[in-house]
Structure 1
């Protein structure tokens, strides 16, 4: 399992982004495993993102958004960031 980003884990920004990812994933009926496969990242990383434990980099955030069939801008807007 990936280690949390200790400096930023559980900040309101990461919690909001994670919630937006989870909401979009569930609205599409995807499992974390399917989303991770489509995004090309580990399932445990997706889990950590959704819990606000990862300070996601721009490239991975874009991969997640693409796998969720949305734009990164729309995903960030859904998080109200």
Structure 2
């Protein structure tokens, strides 16, 4: 808990993994922006910048519906299931 606490409040960016660790990853990731206290759009943009191979789904939160989100996720998975 102590070490986790350091990574939650020691930076100006999103809490969690160090930027250097994220930059080393090379894997597909679908970044879906949020718009609430825990999931700011800026955090999603930050992840998209740090993760090579990521794809940012640039859609407003109210556009992330039961009709659009599953189809978008399935398309992403199909694209990377090779």
User: TM bucket by the smaller chain?
Assistant: 0.3 to 0.5
Give me the TM-score of the superposition, normalised by structure 2.
0.37
Larger Rg: 1 or 2? 2
Query: Hey, which of these two has a bigger chunk of strand by percent?
Result: 2
Q: Which has the higher contact order (CA 8 A, sep 6+)?
A: 1
Give me the TM-score of the superposition, normalised by structure 1.
0.38
Query: Hey, which of these two has a bigger chunk of helix by percent?
Result: 1
